[in-house]
Amino acid sequence: MANEDIALMAHLMRRAGFGATRAELEARVAKGYEATVEELLSPEAPALDRNEMMRYHPWTWRPGTLPGMGAAEWLHDLINTQRPLEEKMALFWHQVFATGVSKVDHYDDVMDMIVKFRDKGMGDYRELLLEMAKDPAMIYWLDNCENHATAVNENWGRELLELFSMGVGNYTEVDVRECSRAFTGWTIIPKLPRGPIGRHDWFFEYREDDHDDGEKTFLGVTGNLNGEDIIRIICDQPATANFVCRHLYNFFVADEAQVPAWSVTPPKDPEAIDLLATTLRE
Asked if 189 and 202 count as a contact pair (C-beta separation under 8 A), the reply is yes
How do 221-223 and 216-218 pair as beta strands? Answer: antiparallel
Q: Is 90 helix (H, G, I), strand (E, B) or coil?
A: helix
Rounded Cα distance, 40 and 83, in Å: 7
Asked if 216 and 222 count as a contact pair (C-beta separation under 8 A), the reply is yes
Helix (H) or strand (E) run with residue 40 in it: helix 33-41
Q: Is 198 helix (H, G, I), strand (E, B) or coil?
A: strand
Question: What is the pLDDT, as a whole number, of residue 206?
Answer: 97
Question: What is the mean pLDDT, run by run of 10 residues, along the chain of 282 residues?
Answer: 90 96 95 97 89 70 54 85 97 94 82 94 96 97 97 98 97 98 95 66 94 98 98 97 97 94 95 96 86
Q: Is 222 helix (H, G, I), strand (E, B) or coil?
A: strand
In degrees and rounded to multiples of 5, residue 173 shows phi and psi of -65, -30
Question: What is the pLDDT, as a whole number, of residue 44?
Answer: 92
Domain ranges of the chain: 1-42, 49-236
**Residue 222 burial by CB count (10 A; 0-12/13-18/19+): exposed, middle or buried?**
exposed
Asked if 37 and 53 count as a contact pair (C-beta separation under 8 A), the reply is no
Question: What is the pLDDT, as a whole number, of residue 24?
Answer: 95
| Residues in Cβ contact with 36 at an 8 Å cutoff, skipping those fewer than 6 apart | 9, 12, 28
Q: Is the pTM of this model over 0.85?
A: yes
Q: Is 189 helix (H, G, I), strand (E, B) or coil?
A: strand
Question: What is the pLDDT, as a whole number, of residue 34?
Answer: 97
Q: Which residues pair with 223 in a beta bridge?
A: 216
Rounded Cα distance, 161 and 181, in Å: 14
Q: Which residues pair with 222 in a beta bridge?
A: 217
In degrees and rounded to multiples of 5, residue 136 shows phi and psi of -60, -40
